[in-house]
Amino acid sequence: MQTFLDALKSHAQNRPTKQALVAESEQISYRMLIDKVEALALELDATGAETVAFQLDNGVNWVIIDIACCMAGISSVPIPSFFSKDQIRHLVSDSNADLLIFGSGFQPADEWQLYPRIEIGSACVYVPEIESVEANIAAISKKSPVPMKVTYTSGSTGQPKGVCIAYETIDRVTQSIVESLEGVAIERHLCVLPLATLLENIAGLYAPLMRGITVHVPSLETVGLSGASLDIEKFVKIVVETDPHSLILVPQLLTALVTLIQFEQLKPDNFTMLAVGGGRVSAHLLQAAEALGLPVCEGYGLSECSSVLTLNQPGNHKVGSVGRPLPHASLRINDVGEIEARGSNMRCYQGEQLNRTQTGEAGTQDLQWYATGDLGYIDAQGYVFVTGRRKNVFITSFGRNVNPEWVESALSQHPAISAALIYGEAKDHNLALIWCRFPTNKGALADIVADANAELPDYARAHQFLLMSEPIPSNLITANGRLKRIDALCHYQSVIDNHYSSLCCVTQKACKSSLKTNQKQTQNSLRRST
């Protein structure tokens, strides 16, 4: 992160009074930011810690702790605010964190409150005690000699996985984003996603700060974001108050923004870039945004490749694509249609051994191609198109391959639909489970489904749907508001099975009735013939 840190120091020297961070009632300049970061880096270094795990709400303190770890050469492990205590226990144990920081509003597990602690600002810092010499040796042996950020994915199955990314790699990605957006006029960026999300962390925090931009980091409560739910009134209020030039959005938030502008609850006058990622964006939503004059730019990436790989740019984009590769990244399509990437690859998953090509200098892993698991293609102009997840593809009873994200995206981009889950493995028709943002009768929903189906081939359509009355459990939703498909399918398997079973019974009764009718007709015909 040396280039990033050098940029902060340069801003502090050349523009000391320029606002760097704004959060609720707190404002700090670039001079104050670098002073606070340097002071905390010294405190962290004095503890002898090698890995710091921290959980705080979005805000100034989150940023200072995160950057201080980089400056001190200490591996950092941001704890997502939406993780359960069991997930946090797993994260702390798996990461071998030897320093834990919890901000106000977050309560550590009971066992951690017994650890020695120190105070850093308003945060409580816990120093876990190693139970035995053997455990201590084991923990030390697992630590990487290369300082890095360990970002834990919410995961589609099982416990979250720690993605280990060298600071050097993150630095290179940050520079790449800054370079690609050099001509875009941005003076104020508003963070609305959790800073523990790698996308907001790198593209929404590091890149703007490297450019000397003012970054607004209000709490998630102030933004109105809680899990996958959004308080519209709070969201409108913070956007109006901060008047940002740029935002990073997931499709659900873009849908909300477009709807608010359509109903004249927000004015789009000062937006210069609205980056959207984290899921497939329907052509209908992009067309609606374009009609409103919104500078929406799709991007693509994944945590294992340091978040951002491609990005459309204002005035240089192609609708339906996720943009061209950024300067640091190379992409290709393998023999099975899967996107492979290199240039910003993770070192490994936490707890896994680095292979021989990864054990040397930091960044050597970037020479390897990483199979993303995403299906897609690259056109003649170099624009990348993502068509679905390889592992999520299901095959209907007619032998048709269906990418569920394609169908789910077409459904969920309607303002009335908050989420959709499509299923049709080995079935003669596809079933959609649908959750609505506000009360919607089945007749109106049927019309919405019909409109979405009109954009799809017959084999991929939602042939039938179930309107779900209960909200989606929070543990089935990622930080970006997407359904964890595998977990959700397991959770709702009985609902899906009951649907198909009831239809099977109806079909069997209809067949029996038809058979009886045919038999009677045959018998009558025979009687008449004799």
Question: Distance between CA 358 and CA 346 in Å, rounded?
Answer: 10
pLDDT, tens digit (0-9, with 9 covering 90-100), for 247-288: 999 887 888 899 899 988 898 889 999 999 876 677 778 888
Amino acid at 131: E
Each residue of 34-70: pLDDT tens digit?
999 998 898 888 888 899 999 989 999 999 999 999 9
Residue type, 356: R
- Mean pLDDT for 327-352 is 94
Alpha helices by DSSP H, listed for 220-318, are 220-223, 232-242, 251-262, 283-291
DSSP 8-state code for residue 112 = G
Position 244 scores a pLDDT of 97
Residues 6+ apart with CB under 8 A from 8: 30, 33, 34, 37, 67, 209, 210
Predicted confidence band of residue 434 (pLDDT cuts 50, 70, 90): very high
Structural domains present in the chain = 2-386 (3.40.50.12780), 393-491 (3.30.300.30)
**CA nearest neighbour of 75 among 34, 44, 102, 105:** 44
Q: Are 190 and 58 in contact (CB under 8 A)?
A: no
- Are the beta carbons of 382 and 375 closer than 8 angstroms? no
What is the rounded CA–CA span in Å between residue 457 and residue 410? 12
Structure tokens at 141: 């042996």
Q: Could you tell me the pTM of the whole model?
A: 0.76
- Asked if 1 and 74 count as a contact pair (C-beta separation under 8 A), the reply is no
Contacts of 443 (CB under 8 A, 6+ apart): none
User: How far apart, in whole angstroms, are the C-alpha atoms of residue 479 and residue 470?
Assistant: 20
464-467 and 384-389 beta bridge pairing: unpaired
- pLDDT level of residue 159 (50, 70, 90 thresholds): confident
- Buried/exposed code over 388-427 (b: 16+ C-beta within 10 A; e: otherwise): bbbebebebeeeeebbbbbbbbbbbbbbbbbbbbbbbeeb
For residues 355 and 88, the model is more confident at 88
Report the percent of the chain where pLDDT is more than 70: 82
pLDDT digits (tens, 9 = 90+) for 380-406: 999 999 887 788 878 776 667 788 888
